[in-house]
Structure formats: structure tokens, C-alpha cells
Amino acid sequence: MSMGAAAGFNVLWLQSGGCGGCSMSLLCADTTDFHGQLRDAGIDLLWHPSLSIESGHELSTMLDRIADGRLRLDALCIEGSLLRGPHGSGRFHVLAGTGIPMIHWVSRLAARARHVVAVGSCAAWGGVTAGGDNPTDACGLQFEDDRRGGLLGADFRSESGLPVINIAGCPTHPSWVIDTLMALAAESFTAGDLDQLGRPRFYADQLVHHGCTRNEYYEFKASAEKPSDLGCMMEHMGCKGTQVHADCNTRLWNGEGSCTRGGYACVACTEPGFQEPGHPFQQTPKLAGIPIGLPTDMPKAWFVALASLSKSATPRRVKLNAVADHLVVTPAVRKTRLK
């Protein structure tokens, strides 16, 4: 056991109607000792599908003990959406070896958990699994897209009094999960740390646009026109970074990445309903040539005025590089000392 942390914060991690990507992302957490990091924070992983040896009977026995209240559960982490179909039976996912639909297991275990955590946009809102006509009647733990409800209901509160904590993202960033679990284990996480949609504010109070390497192109409305161009992807390529809550460009992915740094649009994977935007993902929907999805906190008229002004002032360097896949014009080197 470690110092300065709540002793033995028991975490159970189950997967349902998702892809397992949040677990795989979690293992990319920025540390040289994944298990040591959890242990030092006092986190005890009771069971995780990819990391535990217990299988079959050993696991179902453990789940029974939690459901009966014989084994304490501090955080129930659910990854993947909850599959209610067909016809409310939950048979689209029966927990193997138990004959019991996963939605029933989740409801029983949630009733015993001190905290309930939705890991990823599937568990938070339904996610991609709820796309199209939603063939499996998938939903989130406490939301269906942006409507409250979901499997556990709008009024659900876990034993701690908190609603479901929605660590949304598709997948979710490993350090969004680690930071949340550590704060919970240290008892330093309160209702005020959640935004209106139940997301931890430490990452949801940011916008993807913050820290984007294409910000200079954005300022001059120098826009990418095709994949692999260097320009801003808001005007033509479907980027929603100016509206999306997440810190992807300041808390980077896999060492140094983000969607926009990788050359493709932010598709708003932390937002409810992102899976059905109503337009092709890589095309910006426009009205009279102007993108519909303008920055949330900017009046439209201002945006239009500023955009046309900045377009007329775009330096040649920015204009040409925006539509190339490598720098064709480099910044001028001045002969005199910079002032």
C-alpha cells in the first residue's frame, strides 16, 4: 500500500457494446510503469478484461460477491454502450458464461458502487454503436446522446452522491481516465468538477482548437482543401475543433499527436451524438458559402466580417502552405536584429 492515497480503492472494469479501444488507449498512458502508477495511487484493479488472469467461473464468482455486497466496489468503470435490444431483452450482449444480459449485470453492480464511471463516448452517450438506426437500441449509462436517461436513469446517483462520471471521447484519452481515477481515489473529486454533461472539467473546459498547430492558418482563414494539406480544416474539411470540448491539442495523444496534427478533422468525439452529424464527416456544412458550425461564443456577423478581413490580409507564405503538404514558402529570415 502507498502513502497519501486512500487504501485499496477497488476498481472493476467491464466492457459491453464498444470496441475495447478505451482499454487499449488506457495502456498507452504516459508512464514507464503502468501498474506501479496505479498502485502508488492506491488503486486496486479488481478485474480488467485485458489485464486480469481470472476468467470464466473465477470472474462470475467475483461479480456475485460484489452484487451481494460481500466485496467493496469503489469505482465501476463501464466501457462500451449498453445494448438494450432486441425488444428490451438485452440479448444483444449476454455476459458469456452467465446467461445474464450485460445490462442486468451493470444495473446490479451500479447499485453497489461508490462511483460509476462511463469510460468513453459509448458508455457516456451511446456513441458510434448507437449510430444509424441504432440496431441494438444502444444507450449510455445516464444519457442517450444529449438526453438524460440512459440505462440507469436521469436521477441515478451512485453511493457517493455523484451522477455517472462521463469520461467521453472515442476513444478516451488515457490520462483523462487516470487523472479521474486518481482524483476519485484521493477523494478530491466533487460535483463541481463535472460539466453540465457530467464530463470532468479538467479536460472538458478546454477546446480542441486551443493549441492547434494550424491556428495561424485559422487566423488568416487559409484553408486546407484536400487531405494532407497543412491549412486550417474548419472551412472545408469538417473540423469542429472550435466548438468541441477537449484538450487534445494541449494534452497530446501517443506522445505528440492529435487529430488535427495528424492531418484530419476533429469530428467531435467527446460530444453527444457525434456519430450522426447529419453531413459527411470530412466536409464542412455551409450556408451561402459560410460554415454553419461557427465558433460557439462568437457572433456570426463578427465572424464573417473578421474572416473576410483576414482573408484579404493573408500573407503569401500562409496562403501557399495551406494547400500544400509540406512548406513551400518558409518564413523570411531578417537581416537585422528582431525588434
Tell the smallest beta-carbon distance from residue 201 to ligand SF4 (Å): 15
Give the separation between CA 137 and CA 128, rounded to whole angstroms.
12
Please pick, from the candidates 41, 259, 318, 322, the single residue that binds ligand SF4 as defined by CB under 6 A: 259
Sorted by sequence, the CB contacts under 8 Å of residue 119 that are 6+ apart come out as 13, 22, 77, 78, 79, 167, 172, 177
- Report if residue 267 touches ligand SF4, rule: CB under 6 A: yes
Find the part of the chain contacting other proteins (CB under 8 A) among 91-99, 109-117, 151-159, 187-195: 91-99
Please pick, from the candidates 53, 287, 288, 332, the single residue that binds other proteins as defined by CB under 8 A: 53
Q: Which is nearer to other proteins, 119 or 162 (CB)?
A: 119
- Report if residue 215 touches other proteins, rule: CB under 8 A: no
Tell the smallest beta-carbon distance from residue 217 to ligand SF4 (Å): 7
Q: How far is CA 146 from CA 76, 111, 127, 196, 303, in A?
A: 22, 23, 11, 10, 27
SS (H, E, C) 15-77: ECECCCHHHHHHCCCCCCCHHHHHHHCCEEEEECCCCCCCCHHHHHHHHHHHHCCCCCCCEEE
Please pick, from the candidates 80, 127, 238, 241, the single residue that binds ligand SF4 as defined by CB under 6 A: 241
Find the part of the chain contacting ligand SF4 (CB under 6 A) among 108-116, 153-161, 182-190, 236-244: 236-244
Please pick, from the candidates 69, 88, 153, 227, the single residue that binds other proteins as defined by CB under 8 A: 227
> Is 266 annotated as ligand-binding?
yes
Q: Are 196 and 202 in contact (CB under 8 A)?
A: no
Report 6-35 residues binding ligand SF4 (CB under 6 A).
none
Give the separation between CA 272 and CA 148, rounded to whole angstroms.
11
C-beta neighbour count of 307 within 10 angstroms: 18
Residue numbers at the binding site for ligand SF4 (CB under 6 A): 169, 208-209, 212, 214-215, 218, 232-234, 239, 241-242, 244, 246, 248, 258-260, 266-270
